[in-house]
Amino acid sequence: MSTAASPKPPPRPITRSPFVDSTDILGDAAALRARADEEGYLYFRRFLPASYVHDLRADILAVTDRFGWRVPGQDRLGGLVDPAAIDAIPDEDISSLGTGAACYREVQKLESFHRFPHHPRLMELYRTLFQGEPIVHPRNIARMIVPHSRNFPTPQHQDFPHIQGSANTWTCWIPMGDCPRALGGLTVLRGSHKAGYMPVQPAKGAGGGGFAVQLCPWESQWVEGDFSAGDILTFHSMTVHKALPAQITDRIRLSLDVRYQPVAEPIEERSLGLHTGDITWEEVYRDWKSDDLKYYWRRLPLTISAPFDPGYLEAKRRIC
């Protein structure tokens, strides 16, 4: 006896709704986990002190000043860039990182950059979400998106194919300062984690690794919003997300991608390395003032997952 296939959902028009602020349920662990399971993301307004965010922003911008990127005369938080300096960044750096590789290496050496995701409020959030002890992936990412003719918005993608290990890994996207939609903030396809892994196709744009997922006609409910300093957006490794097109074209957009997973679940070995492969941890740590976070993951009872599988990043057609 044949079994009829399940009916497919009807196509839906693309909708754009505001993020749901989950601050009001922070004290209700069950409600928080239920919303995370349903929506695939959590958004919190002013979750971190603005001063904490601004201090790291200032440290990153101070590095860009060494490369002459900023227009002189701004305060320590100003993001206005010099077009001539940005145009001098090699095209290959822009296509792979969205920014200059030499400058990015120097940001990766900042102690404040690697210390940032260990803030007690962030650790407590993921402790609640995972119902267990979290680990911060050491492979922290700074998004230093500059206005350049070869810069394309990060395409729609899932993080899992790029990180693997435990699917129960959550990215925390943290703007380093106010980030209105016009500056090219992040948008999320709500509930998309429920579909699991989605096949990919080649696409331009830093942040997607050169690939974009293929969406079905009913996958169209996007959520977005304007961010203030201290806001955070966190989402499951299978949740589809992308950058909005930047309409403000004379400023750098600074944000962090940091990832958390339960200590008890397998982690892929590459997540314990640096985001850029042309420096070592020894070089990163050379000028740090404190030792407490150096190689912190070596003190944890980690299980290494199966090796990275490039098959997740092979172009395949998705059947809707």
Q: Are strands 170-175 and 211-213 parallel, antiparallel or unpaired?
A: unpaired
| pLDDT attached to residue 2 | 43
Mean pLDDT by 10 residues, the chain (320 residues): 60 92 97 98 98 98 96 96 92 84 96 98 98 98 88 92 98 98 97 97 82 95 98 98 94 97 98 94 98 98 97 94
138, part of any domain: yes
Rg (alpha carbons) of the chain, rounded to whole number = 20
**Residue 166, domain member (yes or no):** yes
Q: Where are the alpha helices (DSSP H) in 181-296?
A: 281-285
Residue 320 domain flag: no
- Give the pLDDT of residue 221: 97
Question: What gap in Å lies between CA 123 and CA 202, rounded to an integer?
Answer: 35
Q: For all residues of the chain together, what is the average pLDDT?
A: 94
pTM here is 0.95
293-319: pLDDT as tens digits: 999 999 999 999 999 999 999 999 999
* Domain span including residue 85: 15-313
In a domain, 5, yes or no: no
Q: What is the CATH number of the domain that holds 234?
A: 2.60.120.620
Domain count, the chain: 1
Residues 116, 293: Cα–Cα separation, whole Å: 11
Whether 9 maps to a domain, the answer reads no
Could you tell me where the beta strands, DSSP code E, fall in 139-195? 141-145, 170-175, 186-189
**244 contact partners, CB below 8 Å, separation of at least 6:** 153, 181, 184, 185, 186, 187, 224
In-domain check, residue 7: no
Residue 6, in any domain of the structure: no
**What does the pLDDT read at residue 194?**
97
pLDDT digits (tens, 9 = 90+) for 54-97: 999 999 999 999 999 999 999 999 999 999 999 999 888 887 78
